[in-house]
Structure 1
């Protein structure tokens, strides 16, 4: 499989991400797309250079563009991306590969993942559930680090929308569904999402909700009331209790 690892000044986490990939018992081609980091990221990348299929470090057009670039450089039939502050659980990639191989008629598969709070170590499951359009319109029910996609459908929909900064994954799930049908849910934990002080969904909550609501309106036709009610809570109240 082809794995894109976008990163920018995440050297303190990048080693964990790459370790979790190369400890999996599955063939991988890994491309690290670094946005011109000024921390220790290059040292970490060079540590793993002998295992990487490619890497670069320079300013780019953002996370979505970096992921598209990496996956375009690969040739494997399955693709995914792992943000440099997340990691795969042992056996997680193998489980995803087995599930997708057994279900070649679906565009992608997704499992469960944990959300780990960096400063406290608290671990809680991310809200993931079996695929339904009605439920996807209410929230993103798919956890990005826990997904695996057919390269053919990735290329057919043009990869990620590079105009989006916050919800490029949510937009992709909608496009895959609309073009190729429901994504397949696998009821197993396969990955971990790291929640820390620089996480985009924490520092840019208002923009996150604005982009997400635009995506829902575009593909579902209307924005459920839930989004309007939840936005003030997520933007203001959650920001002061975390």
Structure 2
């Protein structure tokens, strides 16, 4: 980008984001003032997303425009263009608090650190507010304690490049799949954590969105279960959750045989877990005549 390295680059994948991107960028203003780079990748938008970014009078805030390829393709483009030693990824409807960049820059100033992670407040549309903090992610992730959600982690850019960036086959749970490939390169000694809720995520859980993402859920869960079979075998509970998500997505798409296969796989992995039996009964009720 024609500049020397900056400590941190924020990559934002944006598609038709004129309604939310201004608030996202406004929340980053203190970070930009502190020297943080922001790269917005306009992923084939048909609105004025790119113009929103160009209205910023700062060489640290730039936009890349490309044909629509999906969030992972856009994030990888931003990753390649970034000049930061560390990189983090935000969605265009996320916002950060003033303390966010202070924590990250303070943590990442230590040359012994490869990962910094913090908490997040999730605002559910029409529902309660949830709090997410770094947690023990389990054996699939080499027992890493972190929160791999947009904006809640910043990682050394060279490590993300080493593992190939985001897998474009994964369209749901992309950050967790990336964490699986990063896990053996990240150690507790080289991680800094904060339990403060420094990121705000707006989450649309409407039925329309659930239905729209059903194909992404089904394809992504099946792909991850296959690609990371050895890792997933370490944690039957997580594997059962992946099968359960795939099963519900398959039912939403009308793929009842596939839905049954995934749901039964989840049950075999966690036969004594009441939640799994509840999902089986729910799927059975949904499959009754007149419930399609």
1:59-115, CA deviations, whole angstroms, 9 ceiling, x for partnerless residues?
Answer: 14221121121122122211111110111122112212222334x445322111011
Q: 1:132 to 1:63 in 2, by over 3 A?
A: same
Residue number in structure 1 paired with 2:22: 15
Match of 1:224 among 236, 256, 259: 236
Q: 1:200 to 1:136 in 2, by over 3 A?
A: farther
Runs of 5+ unmatched residues, structure 2: 1-7, 253-278, 280-292
1:179-237, CA deviations, whole angstroms, 9 ceiling, x for partnerless residues?
Answer: 33355542221101111259966731453255245435515142624314465568769
What CA distance in whole angstroms lies between the structure 2 residues aligned with 1:49 and 1:33? 17
Contact 2:119/2:147 (<8 A) preserved: no
Match of 1:45 among 53, 66, 80: 53
Match of 1:81 among 68, 84, 89: 89
Report the TM-score, using the length of structure 2 for normalisation: 0.67
Residue number in structure 1 paired with 2:262: none
Q: 1:145 to 1:204 in 2, by over 3 A?
A: same
Report the TM-score, using the length of structure 1 for normalisation: 0.79
Residue number in structure 2 paired with 1:179: 185
Contact 1:164/1:211 (<8 A) preserved: yes
Count, aligned residues: 234
Provide the secondary structure at the position in 2 that maps to 1:155. Answer: helix
Residue number in structure 1 paired with 2:102: 94
Match of 2:116 among 109, 120, 129: 109
Q: 1:100 to 1:212 in 2, by over 3 A?
A: farther
Determine which structure has more spread, i.e. the larger CA radius of gyration. Answer: 2
Q: Is residue 174 of structure 2 the alignment partner of residue 168 of structure 1?
A: yes
What CA distance in whole angstroms lies between the structure 2 residues aligned with 1:230 and 1:61? 24
Match of 2:75 among 59, 67, 72: 67
Offset of 1:152 from its aligned partner? 2.2
What CA distance in whole angstroms lies between the structure 1 residues aligned with 2:181 and 2:141? 15
Paired residues for 1:196-235 under 5 Å: 196=204, 197=206, 203-205=212-214, 207-208=216-217, 210-212=219-221, 214-215=223-224, 218=228, 220-222=231-233, 224-225=236-237, 226-227=240-241, 228-229=243-244
> Relative contact order, CA 8 A, sep 6+: which one is greater?
1
**CA-atom RMSD, angstroms?**
3.3
Contact 1:131/1:185 (<8 A) preserved: no
1:24-66, CA deviations, whole angstroms, 9 ceiling, x for partnerless residues?
Answer: 3531111111122223423422322535442133314221121
Runs of 5+ unmatched residues, structure 1: 238-242
Contact 2:11/2:78 (<8 A) preserved: yes
Contact 2:97/2:198 (<8 A) preserved: yes
Q: 1:231 to 1:216 in 2, by over 3 A?
A: closer
Offset of 1:146 from its aligned partner? 0.8
What CA distance in whole angstroms lies between the structure 2 residues aligned with 1:199 and 1:112? 28
Provide the secondary structure at the position in 2 that maps to 1:72. Answer: helix
Provide the secondary structure at the position in 1 that maps to 2:184. Answer: helix
What CA distance in whole angstroms lies between the structure 2 residues aligned with 1:44 and 1:204? 27
Residue number in structure 1 paired with 2:286: none
Match of 1:148 among 131, 154, 164: 154
